[in-house]
């Protein structure tokens, strides 16, 4: 599409978008552009901060208005206030410009070393991520890997903002823009110190948990969300005595302070073998879950990403030691 002489394709479009974003004096509009859900940008105005591009961008905006027959900005007191049509153009243009940017990036990467940014949740990072990266590096020595670890909520946000290429998570993904493929079976267990009274019993009733103190993962954790939902559905309030994002810290609280915690079975193998932690299984399997591969629905899967997904799909090393050690059962 050609709109006069001023508009010269993606480079000029980038100027317009940069101008609209950076010169917006309403912080909420900036947040909107960066993927925030906030929509409080009614008074967004554009000022001439970048004088070198001001005239060019102003002319391009006028030509866009003439071409589409709509008003993109209201001009009041030497300021511009974005209209509803302007907001829509801004949204559509971002997508178009990103496609141009992706095209340029991919073409420049031809014959260059591929890089993959992996985001994992804390449970995945503490249990299998290192092994997966090690196996992938041996399988694909020419592909460079960067890995990042945080809770499910943060990983989801980074995938939506294209800050990482692919995620491996155990929590529930909320956005319909992300593709989530369950691959590796996992399950949560209730844990206590071997000195806790529960460790001497074969069965524990769910209602007894109402009197116990818990070491909990932080908000945004998939582990915490699953356990909270289960307890809420059964009408039991959780007494939180400790909250943190480190499985190691949570296990220490369980051992040293006789708290209870819910954690992935693959994170307690060493402590169970050393008789420091006792495992209590959910008798109804309500805490069964999967580690899932997640990526954006608009993401073009590279050969390296497809290779990584195949490796995760074939991963079989989730711990099965629970079947060989004494474990109590949680019943209703």
**306 shares a domain with 168:** yes
Quick: pLDDT tens for 61-80: 788 788 888 888 887 877 77
| Domain CATH number, residue 81 | 1.10.10.10
Task: With residue 93 as reference, give the H or E element that holds it.
Answer: helix 84-109
Max CA-CA distance within the chain? 82
Picking from 139, 123, 161, 140, the residue whose alpha carbon sits closest to that of residue 36 is: 161
Number of domains in the chain: 2
Same domain? 100 vs 182: no
Same domain, 280 and 226: yes
Is the same domain home to 160 and 267?
A: yes
CB-based contacts of 82, cutoff 8 Å, min separation 6: 20, 29, 41, 44, 45, 46, 72, 73, 90
Which of 66, 88, 109 terminates a domain? The answer is: 109
Residues 118 and 103 in one domain: no
User: Domain for residue 5, yes or no?
Assistant: no
Question: Are residue 80 and residue 121 in the same domain, yes or no?
Answer: no
Q: What is the pTM of this model?
A: 0.62
The residue among 47, 76, 109 that closes a domain is 109
Same domain, 100 and 120: no
Helix (H) or strand (E) holding 166: strand 166-169
Q: For position 92, what pLDDT does the model report? A: 80
Same domain, 144 and 88: no
What CATH number did the domain enclosing 148 receive?
3.40.190.290
Verify that 239 and 167 share a domain, yes or no: yes
**End residue of a domain, out of 109, 142, 177:** 109
Q: How far apart are CA 257 and CA 324, in angstroms?
A: 27
* Whole-number pLDDT of residue 85: 86
146 Cβ neighbours under 8 A, 6+ residues apart: 115, 116, 117, 118
Range of the structural domain that residue 246 is part of? 113-332
Residues of the chain scoring pLDDT < 70 = 1-57, 109-111, 316-325
Cβ atoms of residues 263 and 272 within 8 Å: no
28 falls within a domain: yes
**What's the sign of the alpha-carbon dihedral 127, 128, 129, 133?**
positive
């Amino acid at each position: 599409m050609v709109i006069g002489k001023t508009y010269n394709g993606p480079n000029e479009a980038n100027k317009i978008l940069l101008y609209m974003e950076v010169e917006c004096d309403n912080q909420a509009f900036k947040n909107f552009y960066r993927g925030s859900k906030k929509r409080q940008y009614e008074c967004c105005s554009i000022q001439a901060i970048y004088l070198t591009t001001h005239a060019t961008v102003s002319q391009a905006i006028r030509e866009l208005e003439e071409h589409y027959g709509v008003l993109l900005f209201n001009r009041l007191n030497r300021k511009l206030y974005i209209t509803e049509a302007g907001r829509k153009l801004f949204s559509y243009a971002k997508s178009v410009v990103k496609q141009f940017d992706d095209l340029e990036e991919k073409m420049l990467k031809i014959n260059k070393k591929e890089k993959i940014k992996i985001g994992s949740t804390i449970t995945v990072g503490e249990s299998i991520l290192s092994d997966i990266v090690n196996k992938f590096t041996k399988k694909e020595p020419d592909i460079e890997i960067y890995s990042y670890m945080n809770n499910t909520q943060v990983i989801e946000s980074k995938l939506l903002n294209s800050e990482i290429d692919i995620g491996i998570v155990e929590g529930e993904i909320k956005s319909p823009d992300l593709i989530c493929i369950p691959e590796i079976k996992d399950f949560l267990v209730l844990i206590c110190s071997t000195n806790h009274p529960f460790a001497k019993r074969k069965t524990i009733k769910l209602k007894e948990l109402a009197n116990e103190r818990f070491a909990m993962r932080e908000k945004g954790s998939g582990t915490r969300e699953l356990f909270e939902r289960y307890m809420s559905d059964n009408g039991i309030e959780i007494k939180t005595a400790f909250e943190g994002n480190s499985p190691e810290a949570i296990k220490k609280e369980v051992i040293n302070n006789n708290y209870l915690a819910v954690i992935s079975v693959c994170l307690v193998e060493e402590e169970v073998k050393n008789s420091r932690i006792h495992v209590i299984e959910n008798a109804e399997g309500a805490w069964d879950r999967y580690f899932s591969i997640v990526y954006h629905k608009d993401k073009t899967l590279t050969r390296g990403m497809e290779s990584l997904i195949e490796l995760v799909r074939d991963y079989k090393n989730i711990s099965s030691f629970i079947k060989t050690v004494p474990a109590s059962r949680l019943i209703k």
